Amino acid sequence: MNINVLLFQNFTALDVFGPVEVLSSIEGYVIRYLSIDGGIICNRQNIRIMTDKIMECDYNSIWLIPGGWGTRELVADNRFLSVLKRIADESLFCLSVCTGSALLAKCGALNGKMATTNKRAFDWVVSCGNEVKWNRNARWVQDGKFYISAGVSAGIDMSLGFVRDRFGIDKAEQICERMEYTWNKTN
């Protein structure tokens, strides 16, 4: 099973690598880094990731959509939003961290769904999707195949919740122990 991480310029590092640390602990899961055009993607801390072109993958898998300053530009990028809508529609599960929910809201994937986001960007994200059931207080929420977390470190908690739901509490707690991480189990 692939876990496809959708990267874009100026993504937030912990939005990606916190959940990847959790999800890479699942046997048989392969992490792939993808972007719209493929090639090197760089974040604000100058972390450079080589990505595959998104069109060369199976959309029917698990997707991770991070947040970051790059989301501010992408909410106006119709090409990106069109691809993201297809990803969200065809995915088995769609996990989003921080302002990644703005992108999912803007493309319409979260219409009628519960969601949350980084509390510091909450009002801006809400403006990207007024048909979403926004929860200002949640650390993370799950609605169907969507797992949506608040800011940055909440993505780790959400990913552990995903693991718990799919593989059981024992597996999630084993990952926490290995990471020496104190999990916020409730959303």
Beta strands per DSSP E along 54-119: 62-65, 93-97, 114-115
CA distance 115 to 150: 9
In a structure prediction context, what are the per-residue pLDDT tens digits for the chain, which is 187 residues long? Answer: 789 999 999 999 999 999 999 999 999 999 999 999 999 999 988 999 999 999 867 788 899 999 999 999 999 999 999 999 999 999 999 999 999 999 999 999 999 999 999 999 999 999 999 999 999 999 999 999 999 999 889 999 999 999 999 999 999 999 999 999 999 877 6
Cβ distance 29 to 1 under 8 Å? Answer: yes
CA distance 7 to 128: 20
Could you tell me the domains of the chain? 2-179 (3.40.50.880)
Q: Is the pTM of this model over 0.85?
A: yes
Cβ distance 17 to 64 under 8 Å? Answer: no
Beta strands per DSSP E along 57-126: 62-65, 93-97, 114-115
